[in-house]
Amino acid sequence: MSTQRRKFLAQGLVAGAVAGAAVMPREASAQSTFSWKMTSAYPKGSPFYMDGPGSAVDLARRIEAMSNGRIRIQVFGAGELIPAFEGFDAVRAGTVEMNHANSYFWTGRTFAAQYFTAVPFGLNFQGMNGWLYDGGGQQLWNEVYAPFGMVAFPCGNTGVQMTGWFKREIKSVADLKGLKMRIPGLAGQVYATLGVDVRLLPGGEIFPALERGVIDAAEFVGPFLDRRLGLQKAAKFYYTTGWHETATVSELLINKAAWDKLPRDLQAVVENAAAACNVISEAWCQRNNAEAMEDLVKNQGVQVRTLPDDVVKALRAATNKVLADAVAKDPVTAKVHKSYMAFKQKYDAWAGYSEGVYHSRIRGS
Ligand code: CA
C-alpha cells in the first residue's frame, strides 16, 4: 500500500470517528423503547386487513418481535379509537403514530394518493411492486405526503380484485344505464360517466342491499372476502376480473416526526416488516381466493362471466378521461401520473413477453 493511500485511509478513520461522534445522540437512543398506536380503516377481526398473515395485527407483532420489544404497537380497529376514515388526520396530527388502510381513501386531501393504491386499468401486483420499490413510486409517495408531515410504505396487497356481483348479465354498455351499483372511489366515478347509479355502502351493508334489490350489483374485494359477506346468495353472476382494482395496495401511514425519532435500526425493522407483510398478505389472498372461487363455482351455483369487449373499451375510455381531468387540475397528480404511466408502458410490454405468454401458453387451464 502506498504511503499516500495509508494516509488517506487514516484520514478516513478520523473522519469516520468524528461522524460517529456526531450521530452519538441518535445511537444512544437505540436503547429507547417506543410505545405507538396504530389505527385501521377496517373493523377488528377483519380477515386480511386486521387478522391473519400480513394483516395490521401481524405487522405489529412482527415489528415487536424483530425489535425485541423496543417498539410496541397497540392496534385499533375502525371505530375503536377513531372512525374508519380519520386515520389520515389522526396521523397528521400525531394523535396516533400509524394508520393501516389504503391511500385512495385520502384522495379528498391529495388526489395523487389514488396511484399508490390502484388506478383502473393499472399495474398488477408484480408491476406495482416494480414501480413502488424500484421505479420511483415509493419516493413519490413520500414526496406527496411531505406537506402533510407523513411517510408511507406498502404493507399489503389483495392482488387483482373481482369486477363484482350482478343480478343480471351485462351484455352491452346500454345495460349499465341506471344500474344501481355499490362501487366506491374512482371506479365509481368511471361507472357514473356510463350511466351507472353509484351507491356508497360500507361492507356490512352490501349483502342486505343486494338481496333486497336496493342495488343491482356490487363490488367488494375477491372470492374469499366476498363469500364471507354472503354476496353469492344475493346475486349469481360473478364478473371477472377487477379492471378497477388490479392490485390494491394496503398502506402503512406514519407520522414523520415520530418516524424521525426512531433510530435507524428500528426504521429498518418497520420498513422490512411492512415489505414482508406486503408479500405475505398477497400470498394469503392467492391461497384463500383459489379455495373460495372453487367452492363458489362448484358448490354454490355461481356463474362466472367476463365483461363484453365493448364494455371494457368504454370503461377504459372513461377511465382515461377521468384521469386526464385529474391530471389537468393538479400538478402533483400530473407528476405521479407521468411516473406511473411511463413505468406501466415499459412494464406492460415486458409483461406481454413474460407473464402474458405464461398465462396463454404455459399455465395449465
Ligand atoms: Ca374493491
Q: Over the stretch 346-361, which tens digit does the pLDDT of each residue have? A: 999 999 999 999 999 9
Q: What pLDDT does residue 157 have?
A: 98
Q: Where are the alpha helices (DSSP H) in the chain?
A: 3-22, 24-28, 56-66, 87-93, 125-134, 137-145, 185-193, 203-212, 223-229, 256-261, 264-299, 309-329, 331-353, 355-357
CA dist list (Å): 148 to 152, 295, 307: 11, 45, 40
Q: What angle do CA 273, 116, 278 make, to 5 degrees?
A: 25
CA of 285 to the centre of ligand 1 (A): 13
pLDDT at 337 over 80: yes
CA of 219 to the centre of ligand 1 (A): 6
Q: Over the stretch 142-192, which tens digit does the pLDDT of each residue have? A: 999 999 999 999 999 999 999 999 999 999 999 999 999 999 889 999 999
98 dihedral zone (left: phi>0; alpha: psi -120 to 50; beta): beta
CA of 68 to the centre of ligand 1 (A): 36
CA of 251 to the centre of ligand 1 (A): 15
CA of 311 to the centre of ligand 1 (A): 19
Helix (H, G, I), strand (E, B) or coil at 352: helix
Spatial contact of 250 and 157, defined as CB atoms under 8 Å apart: yes
Q: What angle do CA 216, 159, 232 make, to 5 degrees?
A: 30
Q: Over the stretch 234-258, which tens digit does the pLDDT of each residue have? A: 999 999 999 999 999 999 999 999 9
CA of 62 to the centre of ligand 1 (A): 27
CA of 295 to the centre of ligand 1 (A): 21
Tell which residue, 305, 312, 318, has the closest CA to residue 191: 318
CA of 159 to the centre of ligand 1 (A): 11
Share above pLDDT 90 across residues of the chain, in percent, rounded to a whole number: 88
CA of 80 to the centre of ligand 1 (A): 23
pLDDT at 21 over 90: no
Helix (H, G, I), strand (E, B) or coil at 152: strand
Q: What angle do CA 110, 113, 115 make, to 5 degrees?
A: 140
Helix (H, G, I), strand (E, B) or coil at 305: strand
307, exposed or middle or buried, with CB in 10 Å at 0-12, 13-18, 19+? Answer: buried
CA of 253 to the centre of ligand 1 (A): 20
Rounded to an integer, the average pLDDT of 277-292 is 98
Cell numbers found for residue 42: 377496517
CA of 122 to the centre of ligand 1 (A): 14
CA of 162 to the centre of ligand 1 (A): 8
Cβ neighbours of residue 261 closer than 8 Å, sequence gap 6 or more: 29, 34
CA of 98 to the centre of ligand 1 (A): 23
Q: Over the stretch 187-230, which tens digit does the pLDDT of each residue have? A: 999 999 999 999 988 888 999 999 999 999 999 999 999 999 99
Angle in degrees, 0-180, between the axes of helices 331-353 and 309-329, rounded to the nearest 10: 140
b/e for 344-358, b at 16 or more Cβ within 10 A? beebeeebeeebeee
CA of 160 to the centre of ligand 1 (A): 9
pLDDT at 23 over 60: no
Helix (H, G, I), strand (E, B) or coil at 108: coil
63, exposed or middle or buried, with CB in 10 Å at 0-12, 13-18, 19+? Answer: buried
Omega before 246 within 30 of 0, i.e. cis: no
Q: Over the stretch 100-159, which tens digit does the pLDDT of each residue have? A: 999 999 999 999 999 999 999 999 999 999 999 999 999 999 999 999 999 999 999 999
CA of 164 to the centre of ligand 1 (A): 9
Cell numbers found for residue 330: 393538479
CA of 58 to the centre of ligand 1 (A): 22
48 dihedral zone (left: phi>0; alpha: psi -120 to 50; beta): left
pLDDT at 9 over 80: no
The end-to-end CA distance of the chain, in Å, is 64
CA of 61 to the centre of ligand 1 (A): 26
Q: What pLDDT does residue 357 have?
A: 95
CA of 307 to the centre of ligand 1 (A): 17
Provide the CB-side half-sphere exposure for 48 (13 A, CA): 26
CA of 154 to the centre of ligand 1 (A): 17
Cell numbers found for residue 168: 343480471
CA of 245 to the centre of ligand 1 (A): 6
